[in-house]
Structure formats: C-alpha cells, structure tokens
Structure 1
Amino acid sequence: MKNQKVALITGAGQGIGLEIARKLVDSGSHVILNDLEKGLTEEAVASLSQSGKASVLGCSGDSSSEEVISEMVELAMHHFGHIDQVVANAGITLFGSFLDYSRDDFFEVARINQAGTFFLTQAAARVMKSQPDGGAILLTSSVTAHQSHENLAAYAMSKAAVEMLARNLVIELAPFGIRINTIAPGATMTERTVADPDYVNTWSKLTPLGRPANTTDIAAAASFLLSDAARHITGQTLIIDGGWTSISPSPYA
C-alpha cells in the first residue's frame, strides 16, 4: 500500500531485533531486515512474511560493512522508493577484564557497535533528508552505558557512544524532520541468555519488577519511539530494565 512505512533493521535474525521487526510488520511497515548469518535472515523473512501484512526482504552480511549498508538502502529504494524507519540494532558483546582486554577485541566491538551504527544512520539520513516527512531512527544501547558492569568496559564504552551519537545528531537531523532516539535494554530473555540456566533466577532477584524483560517488552518501546505517537521525541534514551539501573546490584555480588 502506498502509505505504508518502510523500515530497515540490523541484527534482526533473532532476539530483540527479530521482535522489533515483527512489531513493525504487525503495524504495517514493509521491512528490510539484516543478520550476519544467512540462515537466520532467511528464517526471519519466512516467519515474518506469513502475516501478509507487509513485505519482508532479507539482506545478510556484516552490518558494519559499506556494501551491506548500501544493499539495504538500495533494496528499500528499489522496491518502495523511500525509507521511514531505521533500527541500528546489530551489536556484539565481547567480555573481558580491562587489564587483559586485547586490542583486537576492542576494535571489533567498536567496529560493529559504533561504526556500524554510525554509517547505517548516515546512509539512511541521506535518503530521509529529501523526504517530506523525514523519518525516525532508533539506536540500540544498553543499561551498561549507565551503570558499571564487570568485564564490559569496551562494550559499555561503545554503547555510551551510541547514545551520544543520537543526542549529537539532533542538531543536524531535526531540520530535515528526522528524529533519532535510543533504547537501552537491561537483562532480557533472548536465545543467547536462555542458554544460561541461572539467568532468569539471577536477574529476577536483581530486577525490582521481579523478572528480566522479554523481547516483546523491548519491541513495544521501540515501536513507540519509531511511531508517529512519538513525533515530538528526539535525542532521548529510553531505559527498559525493570528498574535495575535505579539500584544496580551486580550479578557478581
């Protein structure tokens, strides 16, 4: 349909990214989704396409690479002619103590989390600035950008940088009608975290609301910030953590 929005989303093969993509499709947005793994991309496209509410296209590969970013933008423009929503969700976590952390791990975290987010946002904004209605961009941060967490110095640094990017770009993107915000999820049940048998029990005790988030909790907040209901919100970070950052007890305590 002519009035349907078009969304790009990285890191959407599973977990939070997939649930955000599902929420956008359910709201009527056409989606171009990316995941590093081709199999996950194809499974996500097949799953989301079943609703028939919108078109879903896949683009596999490294979300920080110029080629993959260009392919996503070109897919959107070729099939739909515009880009209205962008979710820079792809990211990696490489744990390690600060005193022993390697240069290779540091630069890999920075490449994916910071550079990938920066250049996807740049490519999308170049399209959005010429559109009458601009667009909405959402970056994925983490509660670790707000509270200390052992063995995550490089990751936390990268996520704090993502939040500052959103705040900084308000001054450059607002004149074009482009909004940019960030979500900062806390402990969340995903395919990765459920592999830890102690995860739910540990984070249920540490979270004031009594449980870790699930992916639908995060996707609901993301969908709001991308929607017209948030049309006067930009440059903000929404923390979604069940209250953890208010008291921030460590899981290692």
Structure 2
Amino acid sequence: CLRGLGILYVDHKNNNSDLPLTNKVALVTGAAGAIGYGVCRGLLEAGCYLAATDLAGKKLDDFVSDLKKIGSERVISVAIDVTDKESVSRGFESVVQTWGGIDIVVVNAGIPLIAFLKDMDLDAFRKLEKVNVEGALLTLAEAARLFILQGIGGDIIVISTKNVPSPGAGFGAYSATKAACHQLGRIASIELAQYGIRVNMIAPDGVFSEGKYKSGLWEQIGPDRMQARGLDEKGLQEYYRNRNLLKARVTGRHVANAV
C-alpha cells in the first residue's frame, strides 16, 4: 500500500492546499442518494479525492457525472454491493490502486422498510439486516484492515439515524437494523482507537433531498407517516422542519458538514 509507505500517489497539480481535506482520499458507500450526494459534494469541496460507490448501473453513472462537474479529476465511480464481501474488497482495492490508499470511509449504504411488528415479513426483514447490518460490518472490517495496514490512522463515519435513540411505530425493522449498525460503529471505535483510527456516528432525522437527489426512504415512507398522524402528506417536509429547534429543513449538506 503506497499510503503506508508515506507516498502520496494522487496528483497535486490542481489542489488548493488551503482546503481542510486537501489530498485526503474518501470512499462513500450508498452514495447515489440525498445524504450520499450531500456528503460526496461536501468532501469534494473540502479538497478530497472521492470514490463514490453504490450498486452498478445508470443511477451511479449519472450520479458520478454530476459530481465530476465539481471536481472532475478527483472523482471515480466504484461499483460495490455492500452485502458481498468480495465486492467490498475489490472496491477498496480499486481505490487503493487508483490513489494509493484511503483516509476516510463513510458507511452510508442502507435501505428502509415500514411495517408493524405483527405484520412483519421475515424475508423483508432479512433483506434489511443484510444491507444495514452485514453491509456495515463488511465495510467497517475492510476499512479497519486497510487502515491498520497503512499505519497512519484514518477516519470512519457511520451514518446512523435518530431512530436508534428515538424509534417510531412501523419503524421496527429499520430502527433495529440501524441500531445494530450504530452499535458496530461504537465497538469499532473502541477496537480501533489503539491504531489511531477514529470512528464516529451521525444520527440525522428526516433528510428529504439534496438538490435533485431525493431520499429513497422518505419517498417510500413519507405518505404513510403523515396519514398515520392524520395529516396531509403534502406537508411532510414542513412537519419535520417544525420539529427541530432551528425550524430548518435538514438536507444532505447538513449531514456533510457533520462528517
């Protein structure tokens, strides 16, 4: 690993050394969504070289094309299925081969499900567990192995959810699997501290969009959540905006600032 030898493989020509994350290499899983776009854009604007990862396909290709308008020489597309150990390993390896190492990993991939416990389909629950728990574990483990090998520390950020400390009815599968993901992050922070590797969790509430990128979770669950409260589903974003102290609409950019 070139980064482990103290060699910076990336091209310095177009970098602004005043940016806080100049020449850092970041990998983001589940990138092609509202939170992912906000985080990716924020990392690019802070000076990072960025590997945007998601399932292979047009969605990821179009997503990376948009990001290249911000930093064309500092963005690559990497297809990763976080539920597949070999796919995760290959994805990390391709980034290392491109830029010599990785400094920041954002564990963002996740999927939702709305169902009351009494109606829960076990196969649907297992699908969430596969992505939200096993996917997080595989990503954390791969990042840990690489950062230990590099020997210069590193940063891992787990995108959790406010549903971990404050769940809601119908969110059983999502809350439980994200709670497991959150706990894996906490344990990783304990295990990896001795190597100078920092692990932190961010737990946003309702993030609906970032530019043209919409939250798949809220597009799926929003109408049902409002109907359950006897409210007009068109007022969803306003309802959640009024729940926070600043009365502000939370976007992917806010999550990026926390990262």
Report the TM-score when normalising by structure 1: 0.82
Gap runs ≥5 in structure 2: 1-10, 13-21, 224-233
Cα distance in 2 for partners of 1:148, 1:41 equals 30
For 1:225, the equivalent position in structure 2 comes to none
Residue correspondences, number: 222
For 2:237, the equivalent position in structure 1 comes to 200
The answer to whether structure 1 residue 28 and structure 2 residue 47 are counterparts is yes
Runs of 4+ aligned structure 1 residues displaced above 3 Å come to 192-196
Q: Are 1:28 and 1:54, in contact at CA under 8 Å, matched by a contact in 2?
A: no
Q: Are 1:59 and 1:71, in contact at CA under 8 Å, matched by a contact in 2?
A: no
Cα distance in 2 for partners of 1:178, 1:54 equals 27
Q: What SS does the aligned partner of 2:71 have?
A: coil
Shift of 1:30: 1.1
Q: What SS does the aligned partner of 1:129 have?
A: helix
| 1:45-56 correspondence runs (5 A) | 45-52=64-71, 54-56=73-75
Matched AA of 2:191 = E
For 1:40, the equivalent position in structure 2 comes to 59
Q: Are 1:26 and 1:53, in contact at CA under 8 Å, matched by a contact in 2?
A: no
Q: What SS does the aligned partner of 2:94 have?
A: helix
Matched AA of 2:162 = V
Shift of 1:54: 4.8
| 1:134-213 correspondence runs (5 A) | 134-190=153-209, 191-192=214-215, 193=218, 197-213=234-250
For 1:72, the equivalent position in structure 2 comes to 91
| 1:104-115 correspondence runs (5 A) | 104-115=123-134
Which one scores higher on RCO, CA 8 angstroms, separation ≥ 6?
2
Matched AA of 1:204 = R
Cα distance in 1 for partners of 2:80, 2:153 equals 27
For 1:238, the equivalent position in structure 2 comes to none
For 2:228, the equivalent position in structure 1 comes to none
Matched AA of 1:48 = L
Cα displacement string for residues 72-100 of structure 1 (whole angstroms, at most 9, x for unaligned residues): 21111111121110011010001100111
Residues 45 and 60 of structure 1, relative CA distance in 2, 3 Å threshold: same
Shift of 1:62: 2.5
Superposition CA RMSD, Å: 1.9
Cα distance in 1 for partners of 2:162, 2:97 equals 37
Shift of 1:53: 6.8
Larger Rg: 2
| 1:220-235 correspondence runs (5 A) | 220-222=257-259
Q: What SS does the aligned partner of 1:90 have?
A: coil
Q: What SS does the aligned partner of 2:113 have?
A: coil
Gap runs ≥5 in structure 1: 223-253
Cα displacement string for residues 201-220 of structure 1 (whole angstroms, at most 9, x for unaligned residues): 22133333223311111111
Matched AA of 2:102 = I
Cα distance in 1 for partners of 2:176, 2:164 equals 7
Cα distance in 2 for partners of 1:110, 1:173 equals 24
For 1:86, the equivalent position in structure 2 comes to 105
Q: Are 1:11 and 1:17, in contact at CA under 8 Å, matched by a contact in 2?
A: yes
Shift of 1:19: 1.2
Q: Are 2:53 and 2:80, in contact at CA under 8 Å, matched by a contact in 1?
A: yes
For 1:219, the equivalent position in structure 2 comes to 256
Q: Are 1:31 and 1:54, in contact at CA under 8 Å, matched by a contact in 2?
A: no
Report the TM-score when normalising by structure 2: 0.80
Matched AA of 1:63 = V
Matched AA of 2:68 = S
Shift of 1:161: 1.3
Identity %: 30
